[in-house]
Chains A and B, each alone.
Chain A
């Protein structure tokens, strides 16, 4: 391999020192840390070999010295990693040929242990406190770019080009608000000519606080496993949705957010995060609520994975069992007995923080004070892990790959530790201002570069070289919202009480088959990142699923102007289950009255017995009981019992049902009834849930719930010609179609609403739509 040096390397070599030595700090030490130190370090390293010092390698382990300076290929280390005998790292991917050759050359060159190189990767392994590195001198105004410029130079990577305005706009709209720019917004941005217009757009979008918070709720709900309205059987879950939404919307400082989560005080405090998700029955010692609180808070806020160290000392990180129990002891005042792999040890845990250097007082006795103390240590400005973990997570969200990977292990090596340290220190200095952090990143030249694809899905370690932001897949919620924006078809959120429903963005809804297929988690565990992987299950849902199909069919009708809003009902019972509900409708002036019932997801709808009791029309000439009128088609007369209320002559229905009465000339003014589901249908294998409506105009097909308010973004105007295709391309892809695409699209829309629906489907199925490029 070395005898075939590419031409450009030869050319550039003339300005570089000849035959550069292997840089220990840059090339070797991180490799040892990433691939060997997992086992070969600590108090009892595997086979007695520690790779953390030169002496450790020289002494070696069970098999003798690991290295012989000057003799790379003869060294045991090289023999083991190159697979000639019992290949290391054990059970993991082998080192690449390049890595082996670097290691070997380093030993050939004397195995110098000089970690003082300015490139020394500071993987935060050695200290807690943040230092703010000098920003390298550069013409770049944004320090991010100054740090990256040094990397480009060192790695001999030409500085990538700038993404064009439209690509940038789509990217920043999605990242700030979760939605694509409308064709009008895109057009007006692209047409602006002032030099600072990108900065202005960033500021504008971050100031759309409602949209911003709605977008970021998805991420933080995953992280804090907050799933509004969902609980396990018998569980009293405490949701934190309102608090979280307000915290994001007001841009609450991040340290305060975490303090409130870890030391919730007062009625509106977010207790749900510490309370967690609780199954009934016995729970393994490693999964008691206090232990879960310790694991989750350490993982989410400190990038420290304590899951292994909840049963035993971790084999893969430095965390010990006692440390996990020590942290858990802050979250309870009950005696917490340390258990190793579920076997009690007899020892009790006392509160102690993961980083003892941050301790400034003895742990208090009282629970609220303990929580306050641990919250202070989590969020202390002295605790560099706290800021760095969040900065790294946000970097990954905006650039596609963390400065440190995996993002849940902030002690892993970084490909640009100085940049991480600087951003973290800057974040602390900004008083943990999340929006300022986003603004800093979005304003960088790096964020605004042309994106690159990830061709090695699983590239890990510190060998990553930045060449521009990676293309990122949009989330399930972004996908759904973007389809709504494109078509104007938003889903109404209906609280089932009979109040009018409102149009809401997807994060507010429970998961459905489509969002689950697109990666929305159940939030039983903390989820810090979702997989961008496309799966067959997902594709089946996208290709053949009802959710998307319905949304696109209705959307296509809206776009071509053939969609008719359903008329409003005159009365709506809301969900009817175990108790009766009275309905009353004003029917003055109506010629006909429709009595409608729909099923709201009964477990076995064929067995549900439900109906109208004491139904009556009232008018100037007195009362007319509906049961005295000739029985209308769709009704059956029978007994209905709900608790103490019973009717022998109830008008029974099988939902969905719609029965119409002609009342022309009768002078009726009011319709009244009591609606109910028979009490025998409350069994779990029937579980009847029915909703009743009264209409005075012909009801729409399947849409009965009244709606109020506006859509999250204005609906596109109906249009069916060529300009529809153009504006759909603008909206979906932030670009115009080329002539061939236009040809395919025009062929499709020639088929009317079906064709528009199919065109919509094709657009939203394109990687160009589903990725931020």
Chain B
């Protein structure tokens, strides 16, 4: 009969083995279900080992950021219908690619990335942030009869951890409890049928993150280790645990060891951004989002597979500009411009950019006139009242939800650089006119970069649930270098 001590030792030696094996982790041992199902599509060669999603929650106005249009300055009495952008456009280091004023630092690194201007958000009826965000993150529209996972969970689970000492999927910047949309936020900040092992590790505030992953935040390290030693010795001496092995009991013992190792691992320091040299910290520090970008870099260096950093979605706040859009975007762009560029530069400088895909995205676009999209105009919400002629500055901005176009920016990860892909109309409706890319196809593209074919599936209730809807996502091959 195997003693509990022996079993713990065996687990440790197995762990050492696993540590050496990049594709497997303890987590995959414990979380071997649901079964993976390979489809007919060829398994692509991965071009990225990690993905960083920079999430502009709330519906980022594309004409004010990555797809600038004709600029009409504000003056009392100006017709809303004439305004396409409320900012002038600026040149970037790439000839022919222009961005909106306020993104000068990103403009300086556009030779390392590409902007896709032809993303077509899905038509889900009324434009509700929660439904579109759920769809963007899972690739499925709600509700679904099975709990579908976040794309980060899919990538984390399918690729497995690169470093078993850190969670495979970390989500930074979104506070969920207390948010008016907390229930819907919870539904897609989750691993669904893949199980909790692959759920995002939530870091609402990067400044205090170290506390949640460093041993004993309210307990000194000595006591923390003493407690762990006593725990092991108690388990070793238990007559009951020695009496028989059990898959689930062992998975519990193992998870406790894993947690301790993680909490005491040098890798956990990746979560502590206060360890960053001051100059580097300052380069990122535009607030929570900037600090999140810094943490994302540290986490990818430590081996995390998928990091989402959000500017944070709060209904009617942040990018959800229902009023005074121009003024608010000045601040938002100041918040994202430097840290995104710095993240790209740091990754490049460390040689990580070519194997790390950075994605800047949002659930749908905005417009001053159209709620919905051409052909499917949606009755506007009573909260959005755009006068025909503007009489005060807070009328000046993109205050309606537009699902006719959105932009996504890619950096690194084996994608082409220094190009703009797809286009939108220069006049209203400013919808996609060339090379449309659906969110599903965008997912297929990101997954392909991670080496996962679009018809890869997990078996749930004896049926395959595909990583892209019905397995039919089509990666945009033109985007790969």
Contacts and interface: CB of A to CB of B under 8 A. Distances in A.
A534 B196 CA distance: 9
Interface in B188-242: 190, 195-197, 199, 201, 212-213, 215-219, 223, 226-227, 230-231, 233-235, 237-241
Given A232-B183, A282-B126, A536-B262, 11 more contacts: A279-B142, A281-B125, A406-B461, A452-B244, A457-B33, A525-B143, A532-B248, A601-B178, A603-B178, A685-B318, A744-B237
A493 interface: no
Nearest to A519: B196
A758 B199 contact: no
- SS class of chain A's interface: helix, strand, loop or mixed? loop
Contacts of A277: 143
B146 A307 contact: yes
Contacts of B317: 683-685
Contacts of A773: 240
Contacts of B384: none
The 5 A-B pairs of least Cβ separation, nearest first, read A282-B125, A453-B246, A539-B259, A539-B255, A767-B249
Given A315-B463, A537-B197, A453 B255 contact: no
A648 interface: no
Contacts of A768: 238, 240-241
Interface in B106-130: 123-126, 128, 130
A531 B199 CA distance: 14
A317 to B, nearest CB: 8
A762 B230 contact: yes
B187 A531 contact: no
Contacts of B26: 536
B169 to A, nearest CB: 10
B175 interface: yes
Contact of A534 (B213, B233, B254, B316): B254
Contact of B131 (A281, A543, A602, A687): A281
Interface in B443-481: 459, 461-464, 470
A687 B180 contact: yes
Interface in A281-312: 281-284, 286-287, 292, 295, 305, 307-308, 310
Interface in A496-547: 517, 519, 522, 524-525, 531-540, 542-544, 546
B258 A758 contact: no
A533 B237 contact: no
B315 A767 contact: no
Interface in A755-773: 758-759, 761-762, 765-768, 770-771, 773
Given A232-B183, A522-B187, A771-B249, A316 B259 contact: no
B332 interface: no
B220 to A, nearest CB: 10
A747 interface: yes
B185 to A, nearest CB: 10
A770 B238 CA distance: 14
Interface of B: 26-27, 30-33, 35, 37-38, 123-126, 128, 130-131, 141-147, 167, 175, 177-181, 183-184, 186-187, 190, 195-197, 199, 201, 212-213, 215-219, 223, 226-227, 230-231, 233-235, 237-241, 244-249, 251-256, 258-260, 262-263, 314-318, 459, 461-464, 470
A554 interface: no
Given A536-B197, A539-B256, A765-B256, A754 B223 contact: yes
Contacts of B247: 453-457
Interface stretch (A105-113, A194-202, A670-678, A735-743): A735-743
Given A601-B177, A603-B314, A761-B227, A292 B143 contact: yes
A744 B234 contact: yes
Interface string A710-746: 0000000000000000000000010100101100110
Contacts of A489: none
Contact of B180 (A92, A233, A525): A233
Interface string A105-139: 00000000000000000000000000000000000
B183 A230 contact: yes
Contacts of A544: 212-213, 215-217, 259, 263
Given A307-B461, A544-B216, A758-B226, A537 B199 contact: yes
Given A281-B125, A767-B241, A773-B240, A522 B190 contact: yes
A741 B145 contact: no
Contact of B146 (A93, A471, A525, A754): A525
A436 interface: no
A748 B230 contact: yes
B182 to A, nearest CB: 9
Contacts of A740: 233, 237
A280 B145 contact: no
A305 B461 contact: yes
Nearest to A553: B218
Contacts of A540: 201, 212-213, 259, 262-263
A549 interface: yes
Contacts of B218: 546, 549
Given A307-B146, A458-B33, A684 B238 contact: no
Contacts of B128: 233, 279-281
B172 to A, nearest CB: 16
Contacts of A418: none
A537 B147 contact: no
A473 interface: yes
Contact of B462 (A280, A282, A316): A316
A536 B258 contact: yes
Nearest to B457: A91
Contact of A279 (B131, B212, B318): B131
Contacts of B240: 733, 735, 768, 773
Contacts of B259: 536, 539-540, 542-544
Contact of B256 (A453, A525, A542): A542
B131 A280 contact: yes
Interface string A447-470: 000001111111000000000000
A517 B202 CA distance: 12
A64 to B, nearest CB: 25
Contacts of A567: none
Contacts of B245: 453, 455
Nearest to B239: A738
22 contacts: A231-B183, A232-B183, A279-B142, A308-B463, A315-B463, A317-B462, A457-B248, A471-B248, A519-B196, A522-B186, A533-B196, A534-B256, A535-B31, A540-B201, A540-B262, A542-B256, A543-B259, A544-B217, A684-B314, A744-B234, A758-B230, A765-B231
A766 B238 contact: yes
A524 B187 contact: yes
Given A544-B259, A738-B239, A408 B249 contact: no
A759 to B, nearest CB: 8
B270 to A, nearest CB: 15
Contact of B126 (A281, A454, A471, A762): A281
B246 A524 contact: no
Contacts of B125: 281-283
Contacts of B142: 279
A239 B314 CA distance: 26
A48 interface: no
Nearest to A473: B248
B141 A284 contact: yes
Contacts of B238: 741, 766, 768
Contact of B183 (A91, A233, A534): A233
Contacts of A738: 237, 239
B30 A535 contact: yes
A217 B178 CA distance: 26
Contact of A525 (B31, B123, B145, B318): B145
B195 A531 contact: yes
A124 B300 CA distance: 53
A766 B258 CA distance: 15
A533 B183 contact: no
Q: Which of A603, A738, A747 has the most CB of B within 10 A?
A: A603
A295 B130 CA distance: 24
